[in-house]
Amino acid sequence: MRKKIAVLALFISIITGIKAIAQHKYTISGIIRDKTSGETLIGASIRILPASKYSSTSNNYGFYAIVVPQGSYSLVVSYTGYKPDTIAIQLTNDVLQHVSLAPTSGMLTEVVITSQATKDRLTTPQMGVQKLNTAEIANVPVFLGEKDIIKTIQLLPGIKTTGEGSGGFYVRGGNIDENLLLLDEVPVYNATHLMGFFSTFNSDAIKDLTLYKGAMPAQYGGRLSSVVDIRTKDGNNQEFHGSGGLGVISSHLNLEGPLEKNKGSFMVSARRSYADIFLKLSSNKDVKNSTLYFYDINAKTSYNLNDHNRIFLSFYNGKDNLKISHDFALYYGNTTGTFRWNHNFNSHLFSNTTLSYSDYNHHIEIADNSSNTKIGSKIRDFALKEDFQYFMSNDDRINFGFTSTHHTVNPGLIAASQYSAYNSKALDNKYALESAVYINHEKGIGRLKINYGLRLSVYNAFGPGEFYTFNKEGDATDSASYAAGQLVQTYINLEPRASASYQPDSMSSLKIAYSRNTQNVHLISNSASTQPTDLWILSSPNVNPEIADQLSLGYYRDLSRGRYEFSSEIYYKQLQHQIDFKDGAALTVNNYVESQLLYGIGRAYGLELFLKKKTGRLTGWISYTLSRTERKIDDINNGNWYAAHQDQTHNLAIVSMYQLSKKVTLSANWVYNTGNAVTYPSGKYAINEQTVFVYTERNGYRMPAYHRLDVGVTIAGKKKKRWTGDWNFSVYNAYGKENPFFIEFKNDPANPNRTIAQQTSLFRWVPAITYNFSF
Amino acid sequence: MKTNYIILFIILLTGCTKTLDLKLRAADSQIVIQGSITSQGPPYYIKINKTVPFGASNNYPAVSGAVVTVVDSNDNKTGHFTQIGADGYYVSYNLYGQIGHTYKLSVKVDGQEYTARSTMPGFVAIQELSFVQTKILNQTRNLPQITFVDPAMEANNYVFTLLVNNVPYKAFYAMNDRLTDGNIITQQLYMDSSYIQKNDRVTVILASVDKNVYNYFNVLQANSGASATTPSNPPSNISNGAYGYFAAECIDISTRTF
């Protein structure tokens, strides 16, 4: 209680402080949009001339506010890929000034990149942030020609793929479940399709992605390692348009248009894979009868009620149907929905209210001639979030708000038909309320800019249900029964966040940041890579919130008058209450699942280097990471530190795009990384005449180093009236490197008295052709 | 979980394999003890060997001169084991495995004592041994399957052994009744290399075992093949760091020609 009062007092003192400062100044505010589509532009830069020290950027809804003394000015608005616009303003009172920018076509020009946005990269105290929009990744060659923003971020420093062709990723040594994947502000619990080969994010529907690898602003919380904030398109509010693509593995179509010109718009995007259509060509009956597909639907509508109020409604549904034989099938999918209301109280205070829903469920189906059994689990969230942004003066801004999420987890369900070997069983739902209040203040003092904030997270687990106490052997020694709505456990965590930037000159900056994050939903996976059937569990009397503390330092520089940007960061991360599981753990539909868990600590540290060329015929980047990720878990590796599976010492990616002519763009990626840490045998013996291996330590060996070249070419077709189409050809793994997917140790089939190590690789030379169109 | 089969399915469509030459460290040689007391009566064998490095041939040095006893702690009968042959086998004829009895193993060798205990659960009969056809890609596989009735209201643990023409098939099979208590269970015994052919004589041994023995074979089962699970040494019920297991098994055997 005392803490809450302290936070409130701090807040009031800051708010009242503002009034005194802001008296002789006025605010220019508004929304920045694309002129042709009406789409809001996130992160556009706003500058005041001649008083160029006044600047701002548009927020996640395209809204900006800038506080300037009385006078006459030019307002310059710029955004990468758009023609800058200059507007003359007589400032004698608060001004509402919406700005629409026209997109430039073709190459990124010098004019664009020397814009304010590059300067903001240096001045902002925010560290560990990467931004991508779908236009930027359009030409990067990808697996099976399926544009995937999540696979493109895996080519950035500090981000590692979970495996060959995978849509899963690790950030700075964190586990996969430590990434907060937000689709229009709702967490998506399983962001992959087809066992991880594709991500759930359909590039057609996505406007903008911001990835935080550390030092997340205080408005984000609930995961340890990263935030991937994905915003979908609002839809064109000027005229009806469509786009789509026909590919080897899937096709997609996106339609958008005005509901009412300049006021309301809609966007619908759908995608379906059809790998199973090729299976139909097989002469084999079982292959023929397999289904192996996924689909995605994104829909959004937005409406400007008036200058001060806008509403948005977003929806996502995706599902995988993987049936590989008559007796086994796997189904899984996410559904999310968001209602948002943007409101500016006045030109200083912007607010966003979010009501959201997220659902992930999976089940397997086992069938034989006489019976059918379904085994599954489910997680469902309802959330309310309220964010405020208070623009006090040019260099002074406060974000504050609160959020509350109600979680329902069904840890396991078996639905068995009469003659099934399984018994029908439904474990009790688990309920929790995860809430937080936060405040964040950004202030500039000369060449120094600081950002400090605090997030107070409160987690409450509620009944009804039985909660067990376990001994070391994992047997339940005691149980407590709770009534519906009865409080079982509360965890309160204070999460301080602070960062600072210092600019010794206009082309470079130094930054430092510290942040603490906590996590109350945990993914329990008994495999080295995650699977759709992995279980989400909530913090409980046995399972503590996971905690991460991260300290990072960075040096950033613009080179060659902004043609190149360079950044380097080092980080050290400490993890508490990490979760692993016992050997042979039974996690499926287990009331005592917590008895199968082990707990420990972790640490991760590394150096990340990034050089990006932003203009000219040749664009692209080089990304290098040197890092170490370790865990220390009770009862694993005799309680000693060991390398986590995702530990890769070196990680290099080179991404390049070359504009050969107006019509032809060539592209190539090359990636190299140290192999993952794995457990290999160091000896052998026989049990019941069968070879069994001796393991001396956890993850004491390395997979062979991984490298791969992908190439692609995009050929733009002739523009016909409204229709434009282009062809994309690509080859994944162009030199056919046989990278091991897994390594199996077994008796040599040719000589049963010997043992061999045999690698299996998944893909060599995966060619793809895609036709993309828009109208 | 069988979700691995989907990955395997993709591998079957696109994957390719090759043998690697990996430099693996050689762990110190350790003692391996294995054996069981079954409900079928003597002779009972305890086998004692040493581990070898991965690169060595699959010949495991026998341990000689061990003093091996098993005590039936319900009636205090002691079975003394004597070494036979050169493969590390020790044999005893003067015990008879009984349901509900707890057996204690002691192996003394090179100044160390290794002990283990295991309790024989009740009898579960194989109702039927049959064959089932499954087709995955271009292969039709004939797999054996057994049907048995799991006793209700108690925890049961099973280890299966498959023999084809009297040769043990190289796979570990373990299951418990955590999700299937009290049901008629039809269990396929998956085979991933050779399958049942016409006129093969197939034998399945269903062994009811205690929880520790199940845990041991369950981890062996999880480690085998193209498993996505990080492999680990199975949790031995033998003390003092020995590898292996000691089991009291209540068994039923069924044989049928395909």
pLDDT in tens, A386-415: 999 998 877 788 999 999 999 999 989 999
∠A151-A153-A154 over CA atoms, to 5°?
A: 65
Nearest-CA distance A250 → chain B (Å):
17
pLDDT at B13 over 70: no
Q: Tell me whether residues A701 and B57 touch, CB distance under 8 A.
A: no
Please give the residue of chain A at the shortest CA–CA distance from B10: A762
Q: pLDDT tens digit string along A698-722?
A: 999 999 999 999 999 999 888 777 8
Enumerate the residues of chain B whose CB falls inside 8 A of the CB of residue A285.
135
| B5 neighbourhood in chain A, CB within 8 Å | 324, 328
CB contacts, 8 Å: B231 with chain A:
679, 681, 693, 695
Q: Nearest chain A Cα to B176, which residue?
A: A586
| Residue contact B24–A681, C-beta within 8 A | yes
Cβ-based neighbour number of residue B254 at 10 Å: 19
Rg (CA), chain B: 20
Residues of A in contact with B148 (CB under 8 A): none
Rounded-to-integer distance, Cα A417 and Cα A362, Å: 19
At position A742, the amino acid (one-letter code) is: F
- From A302, A312, A310, select the one nearest A340 (Cα to Cα): A312
Contact A366 B2 (CB under 8 A): yes
Taking residues A46-68, what's their average pLDDT? Answer: 84
Q: What is the pTM for the complete model shown?
A: 0.89
Q: With contacts defined as CB-CB under 8 Å, which chain B residues touch A423?
A: 179-183
Tell me the mean pLDDT in the region A739-757. Answer: 88
Residues 6+ apart with CB under 8 A from B226: A742, A744, A760, B4, B7, B8, B11
- Pick left, alpha or beta for residue A30 (phi over 0 → left; psi -120 to 50 → alpha; otherwise beta): left
Q: Which two structure tokens, joined as six digits, stand for A559? A: 């080179």
Contact B2 A755 (CB under 8 A): no
Whether A419 contacts A368, CB under 8 Å: no
Task: State pLDDT tens for residues A260-318.
Answer: 988 999 999 999 988 777 667 666 666 677 788 899 999 999 999 998 999 999 999 99
Chain B closest-CA separation from residue A358 CA (Å): 24
ipTM field:
0.93
Measure CB to CB from residue B135 to each of A285, A368, A694 and give the nearest one.
A285
Q: What is the DSSP letter of A203?
A: G
Using 50, 70 and 90 to split pLDDT, how confident is the model at B6? low
Instruction: Give A-chain residues touching B235 at CB under 8 angstroms.
Output: 583-584
> Does the pLDDT of residue A1 top 50, yes or no?
no
Looking at the complex, report in whole angstroms how far the Cα of residue B66 sits from the nearest Cα belonging to chain A. Answer: 19
Q: How big is the A-B interface in CB pairs under 8 Å?
A: 217
Q: Sorting pLDDT into bands at 50, 70 and 90, what band is A104?
A: confident
Mean pLDDT of A506-511: 92
CA distance A684 to A380: 46
In this structure, are residues B186 and A555 in contact, taking their beta carbons and an 8 Å threshold?
no
The answer to whether the CB atoms of A685 and B182 lie below 8 A apart is no
| Residue type for position B174 | A
pLDDT at A184 over 70: yes
- Rounded mean pLDDT, A616-633: 94
Q: Distance from A111 to chain B by nearest Cα, in Å?
A: 48
Please answer whether residues A441 and A452 qualify as being in contact, where contact means their C-beta atoms are separated by less than 8 angstroms: yes
Q: Which of B5, B227, B232 sits opposite A324 (nearest CB)?
A: B5
| Chain A CA closest to residue B244 | A687
User: Cβ A683–B30 below 8 Å, yes or no?
Assistant: yes
- The beta-carbon neighbor of B27 closest among A284, A588, A682 is A682
A54 vs chain B: nearest CA distance in angstroms?
55
Q: Do you know the residue count of chain A?
A: 775
Region B144-164 average pLDDT: 94
Locus of tokens 């026209």: A102
Q: Which residue type sits at B252?
A: D
Among A176, A685, A699, which would you mutate to test the B interface (most chain B Cβ atoms within 10 Å of its Cβ)?
A685
Which of A222, A577, A178 shows the shortest CA–CA distance to A434? A222
**Nearest-Cα residue of chain B relative to residue A645:** B230
| Burial label, B115 (beta-carbon count in 10 A; 0-12, 13-18, 19+) | middle
Q: Per the CB < 8 Å rule, is A284 touching B135?
A: yes
Cβ pair B49:A686 closer than 8 A: yes
- Contact criterion met (CB < 8 Å) for A743 and B20: yes
Which chain A residue's Cα is nearest to B50? A685
Find out whether A334 and A378 touch, Cβ atoms under 8 Å: no
Rounded to a whole number of angstroms, the distance from the CA of A482 to the nearest CA of chain B is 25
Cα separation values, A625 from A606, A609, A706, A768, Å: 7, 6, 14, 29
Which chain B residues are Cβ-neighbours of A732 within 8 angstroms?
A: none
Q: A456-470, A554-568, A741-755, B6-20 — which is least confidently predicted?
A: B6-20
Task: For the sheet with B126-136, list strands across it.
Answer: B126-136, B139-149, B184-188
Range with the poorest average pLDDT among A179-183, A332-336, A349-353, A736-740? A736-740
Find, in chain A, the residue whose alpha carbon is nearest to that of B17. Answer: A760
Minimal CA separation from A526 to chain B, in Å:
6
Q: Which residue of B has its CA nearest to A366?
A: B2
Which is more confidently placed, B18 or B99? Answer: B99
Q: For A140-144, A545-549, B253-257, which range has the lowest pLDDT when averaged over its residues?
A: A140-144
In this prediction, residue A761 carries a pLDDT of 86
Chain centroid, CA A410 distance in Å: 24
Contact A583 B14 (CB under 8 A): no
Q: Contacts of residue B137 in chain A, CB cutoff 8 Å? A: 284, 286-287
Closest in B181, B183, B229 to A527, CB measured:
B229
Does residue A14 surpass a pLDDT of 70? no
Q: Residue A118 pLDDT > 70, yes or no?
A: no
Read off the pLDDT of residues A329-349 as tens digits, 9 standing for 90 and up.
899 999 999 999 999 998 889
What is the pLDDT of chain A when averaged over all its residues?
Answer: 87
What burial class does residue B59 get, using C-beta atoms within 10 Å of its C-beta: 0-12 exposed, 13-18 middle, 19+ buried?
A: exposed
Q: Testing the interface with B: which of A694, A737, A747, A755 to mutate, by most B Cβ within 10 A?
A: A694
- In this complex, do A745 and B54 lie within 8 Å of one another by their Cβ atoms? yes
Contact A682 B222 (CB under 8 A): no
Chain A residues with CB-CB distance to B34 below 8 A: 687-688
Closest residue to B1, CB basis, from A528, A533, A762: A533
Rounded percentage of chain B residues whose pLDDT exceeds 70: 90
Tokens representing A227? Answer: 């935030």
DSSP readout, A223-287?
-SSEEEEEEE----SSS-EEEEEE-SSEEEEEEEEEEETTTEEEEEEEEEE-HHHHHHT-SSHHH
Q: Hey, of B230, B249, B251, which one would you mutate to test binding to chain A, going by the most A CBs within 10 A of its CB? A: B230
Chain A nearest-CA residue for B235 = A583
CB contact under 8 A, B180 and A423: yes
- Beta strands A25-34; A95-96: pairing state: parallel
The Cα–Cα gap between A226 and A346 comes to 33
| Position A22 pLDDT exceeds 70 | no
Are B30 and A694 in contact (CB < 8 Å)?
Answer: yes
**B18/A685 touch (CB, cutoff 8 Å), yes or no:** no
Label residue A520 by pLDDT band (50, 70, 90).
very high
Q: What is the pLDDT of residues B16-60, one digit of tens each?
A: 888 888 889 998 999 999 999 999 999 999 999 999 999 999 999
Top-confidence range, B163-172, B188-197, B217-226: B163-172
Predicted local confidence at residue A513, as pLDDT: 96
User: Chain A: residue nearest B58 by CA?
Assistant: A753
